[in-house]
Amino acid sequence: MSCHYKVTIPHSLIFTLLFFIIISLPPNAANIVKIAHLQPNNPAIVHEPQVLKMCSNNLKERKILPDVISFDVFTMESCNRYSGVEHAAYLHYVRNASVYFGPGCNNEILVIGRLVSRWNVPIVAHMSGDDALSDRSVFDTLSSVALTSATEMARATLTFLQLYGWKQVGLVRSNVNFDRLSLHSLKNYLKDAQIDINIEIELDPYMTPDEIIATGRLKLLRNRARIIIVEMGLDLHTNRAFMVAIHRTQLKTNEFVYIIPWLAHMHDHYPWEASNIDKLETKMAFDDTIVITAHGYDKKFIEDFELKFSKVTGVISSHYATLSYMSLYDALYLYGLALRDAYDETKNDSIYVDGSFIWKKMTARQFLGSTGQVLMNNKAVRVP
C-alpha cells in the first residue's frame, strides 16, 4: 500500500524564492576575471598561489580593481613535459580564462605565447625568456615584468658602451644556454650600432680558474680586446672562475675594462662572500669591475617583501623564491592597473574579455611595485 501526495507551490512563492536568490548573488557575479595561473613544477616556489591572493586582496583594498569586477584564480602545473601547454588549452576552452600568468619556462611560453595571441588573451610573464618573445608580430598579447629580461639587459649594456664611446669590444660567454643570456641579443645590437666584436671566447661554465688559464684563450683576449663583456651565466657567481683566472694572469689591470651583465640574483650573498674559496683573491678579482643589474634587486625591497609575505601567509620564503614571488606579484599588479584604466575609459565591466585592449594598457607606463619602480616600454616589457 502506498500513499501519493501532491504538493502545489504557489507561483508567488516561486517568484519570491527566485528574487531572493538573485539579490543574494554578489553584484559582480557575472564579471569574474578567470585567471589562469601556470605554476612551474618546482617545489622551491610552491607558494605562488598565495602571492596572487595577496596581490588580489591588495588591489581590492587600494580600490584599484573596480568594484564590479573580481578575480578567480585557477592554478595548474607547468614546465613538466609541456604540461603547461596542455593546461593552458584546458583553462581556455573549459574555464574561459581571461589572462595567463606563467608558465615559468622558456620552451612552454614560446608555445603558449602563440596560442594566447590566437585567443586574444594577454599573458604576463615574470621570468626571463627567449629573444624571440620580443617579436610583437607573433607574441602580440605578451607582457613581461621579469627583472631578468635578457633583451632589455642587452640594451642597457649597449647604452653604457655608447655613453663612453667605445667602438671595439671582446665577449666572453658560456658554451651552454647561450640563448638565455643577454650577450645573445647584444651581438645583434652591437652590429647595428657599428661596434666591432674583436674576439669572442666560449668557455665551459664549470671550469676552474686553472683550467681556464690552461686553454690559452686568455692570451688571445689580451691581444685582441680592452673592453671585455663577460657573461658566463645568469648569476654573478657564474663569473667567479673567469674573474679569478684573469686576476692570476695579470689581466686585471688599468688597461682593461670588464663589464658583467647580472641577470638573475640566485644567492643572497656576493661571490667573494661564498664558502670554500679564497675570499680575498675573489674580492680583488671583482674589484673595479662594472656590474650592470636591475634596480629591483635592491636588498631593502627583498627584505620588505619577505616580511610582508610571511605576515600574510605565515610562510618564510627562500631568497630565490622571494625574487620569483616579487615578480609574480608585480605581474598581477600590472594587470590590475591595466584593467582599471580600461574600465575607467570604457565603463564596460566586461572589458577584460578584450585581451589586446588590456595588453595595450600595460604598455608605456610605470608604477611602484614590490621590486621598486617598474617601467614598461611600448612592447609591454619591463626596462631594467
Share of the chain above pLDDT 90, in %: 72
Query: Of 247, 278, 293, which residue is a domain's last?
Result: 293
What pLDDT does 270 receive?
Answer: 84
- 35/294: higher pLDDT: 35
**Residue 218 sits in the same domain as residue 274:** yes
**Residue 136 sits in the same domain as residue 236:** no
CA distances from 204 to 78, 81, 112 (A): 30, 27, 32
Domain assignment present for 72:
yes
The CATH number of the domain holding residue 39 is 3.40.50.2300
What pLDDT does 3 receive?
Answer: 46
Q: Which domain holds residue 253?
A: 151-293
Q: Which three cell numbers stand for residue 103?
A: 608558465
Query: Of 277, 293, 309, which residue is a domain's last?
Result: 293
**Residue 173 sits in the same domain as residue 122:** no
pTM score, whole prediction: 0.77
pLDDT tens, residue by residue, 224-253: 999 999 999 988 999 999 999 999 999 999
Query: Of 293, 310, 345, which residue is a domain's last?
Result: 293
Residue 162 confidence (pLDDT) above 90: yes
**Residue 156 sits in the same domain as residue 276:** yes
**Residue 189 sits in the same domain as residue 264:** yes
**Residue 262 sits in the same domain as residue 282:** yes
